[in-house]
Structure 1
Amino acid sequence: MGVGILIGSCSSKNQTSTSKDKRPLVVFVTGDHEYSGESTLPIVAAELEKNYGMRTLVLKASPNQNSEENIPGLEALRDADLAVFFLRWRRLPKDQVAYIDEYLNSGKPVMGFRTSTHAFNYPKGHELEAWNAFGERAFGAPPGWGGAAKHSHYGHESTTDVSIIPEAAQHPILTGVDPNFHVASWLYRVLPDYPVKGTTWLLMGKSVNPNSQPAVDQPVAWTWQNPAGARVFMTTLGHPEDFQVEAFQRLVVNAIHWELGKPVPKNWKGKMDIQVPYRGIVN
């Protein structure tokens, strides 16, 4: 079974659920303007299907990543065993948001990348304005960009050195992950108030060539149990060049297994070929 990449408005029911296929279903929800999640995550999805015994479905903003008001197929979340979000400043209609709300209340695991901290951007007074704090509800992350949490980054000319937090070194998600690696993502500021109390920090980031001083080290990956009792994994990394780094690839695959309650792979199937360039925000 190939990766189900759903980009139209057709129903996903027949694509996602069969009575005989017991493999867990991972649904990726993408639409982020800038970081090409709709291109990197399908490669991860294909790897999960080929080598790790999972079914996958990739949902994309339509007609392209800049389309803020439509992600067809979100009803597939009803069949999902894990939902993975890579979103940025969406304004989805109420009926589509309802599927995400239902999933977040289900107690099933949730995973997020980078700009999912500010997945929604409804105008003040909109009936869905509370969804602008999606990052806090879903991941224990800052509730949107800027604001009282001062969620921001250290500049587009910077990169990040990542290291395993010693106290977390034995966490299953970090199995086989290099203790130190470098990524292209500019470091996101989340401290001092986030991640929320009760999170377990896994990786710390140090800004390289920051545009402001002092540059404070920040957690870049953590786990949590959200109010619905679900396992959560969040990383503020996700620049497309990050996906070229084997340590990051392994982190992602391990986290998906952990979230599903499956043992992390003892035998790493090898580095994925993910050659997606950074495009920035383009029309």
Structure 2
Amino acid sequence: MKKIFLSIFTLLLSVPHIQSAEDHIVYQGKTGPGKGKHIVFLSGDEEYRSEEGLPMMAKILSQRHGFKCTVLFSLNEQGEIDPNNQKSLSHPQALDSADAIIMLLRFRTWPDEVYKHFDDACNRGIPVIGLRTSTHAFRGKLGGFGKRVLGEKWVSHWGGHKREACRGAIEPGAEKDPILNGVSDVFADSDVYEAYPPEDAKILMRGLVLENMSPDSKPSTRQKKNRQLNKVTGVNDPAMAVAWTRKHKWPSGKTSHIFTSTMGAATDLKSAGLRRMIVNATYAGLGMKVPKEANVDYVDPYKPLFYGFNSFRRGIKPADHALGKVLPLGNKKR
């Protein structure tokens, strides 16, 4: 009888661990400068496949640089990854021990008890890296985060959506910024966002709107009205900012190092230059020495889906992103 009781007790103790392991993924850090630091990735956008790109980046930061990395997802009732579920963030308790946040969110409407973990983490003054649609990460009462914290909100597609790709151009005067160590040949097949970072931001890179979706395409000569200048200009005269840093002071009085990039679609992250800039921004935000040329080689094969609404892989669970696995194709649309 005693053995049966002990077995049941042991099983009950193990259940929360099993559940938490099923709704998120943790990559324990190998040996490296990041050992002892915990980075929490927040994926949750309907279009740009953050549920594919962020686990890949987490694998790199854990296996190549030593950081413990936890990736949280939007899930459906079956425990499958569903970026359309704007109310979901799996295992938000991971944020309680986060040393940094890397996020790609879009119009989330988390319950108060979920958002509190995020808000508390931010108010500790930890660095925040916001990618692509994180400029409009939340809606409703949580809206305004992008403009207030990251330095911009959703404005418009400055480049032609799915027609004109982006080539990164380092901002003159920013060449020696450590975040740009080893960064070159940045290409993003997502278009350039219209963005006007505040005066306190340091622009690191601008995005040249290209004539088409090819990496070797020429810069576009198309014209468009620039809202900040209130006049029609060439789309690359000036080119829009696509990466910048700034500081943000929270209600707690603590200040965070902020890195924002309006690039970051899963297909954008095939660019080694962009991956390196994000890795470098992680080091810089944590006050660590930035590598001269950070290793950003894939850990596992990476073949992300092209961006688009309702085009995510169905039936995928967080465990499908485990180390050593190739992401399944998933089920067809339901």
TM-score bracket for the superposition, by shorter chain length: 0.7 to 0.9
TM-score by length of 2: 0.71
Report matched runs for 1:1-283 at 5 Å: 10=20, 23-63=36-76, 64-122=82-140, 128=141, 131-142=142-153, 145=154, 150-156=155-161, 157-178=163-184, 180-191=185-196, 195-209=197-211, 213=224, 214-216=234-236, 217-228=239-250, 229-272=255-298, 273-282=301-310
What root-mean-square deviation, in Å, do the aligned CA atoms of Structure 1 and Structure 2 show? 2.4
**Displacement after TM superposition at 1:155 (Å):** 2.2
- In structure 2, do the counterparts of structure 1 residues 133 and 22 end up closer, same or farther at CA, with 3 Å as the change threshold? same
Distance 2:192 2:111 in 1: 31
Render the CA deviation track for 1:245-269: whole Å, top value 9, x for unaligned.
1111111111111111111123532
Render the CA deviation track for 1:135-182: whole Å, top value 9, x for unaligned.
02321222xx3xxxx44432211111211112100000000111x533
Contact 1:16 1:25 in 2 (8 A): no
Render the CA deviation track for 1:33-87: whole Å, top value 9, x for unaligned.
1111111111111111111011000000112111111102112111000011100
Contact 1:38 1:60 in 2 (8 A): yes
SS in structure 1 at match of 2:135: helix
SS in structure 2 at match of 1:167: coil
Long gaps (5+) in structure 2: 1-17, 29-33, 77-81, 212-219, 225-233, 311-332
**Displacement after TM superposition at 1:22 (Å):** 5.7
Contact 2:137 2:143 in 1 (8 A): yes
The code of the aligned residue for 2:243 comes to A
Distance 1:35 1:141 in 2: 18
The structure with the largest alpha-carbon Rg is 2
Contact 1:104 1:138 in 2 (8 A): no
TM-score by length of 1: 0.83
How many equivalent residue pairs?
254
Long gaps (5+) in structure 1: 1-7, 123-127
Distance 1:227 1:151 in 2: 27
- In structure 2, do the counterparts of structure 1 residues 16 and 61 end up closer, same or farther at CA, with 3 Å as the change threshold? same
**Displacement after TM superposition at 1:235 (Å):** 0.3
Contact 2:243 2:260 in 1 (8 A): yes
Distance 1:234 1:110 in 2: 8
The code of the aligned residue for 2:147 comes to E
**Displacement after TM superposition at 1:185 (Å):** 1.7
- In structure 2, do the counterparts of structure 1 residues 244 and 73 end up closer, same or farther at CA, with 3 Å as the change threshold? same
Distance 2:223 2:302 in 1: 31
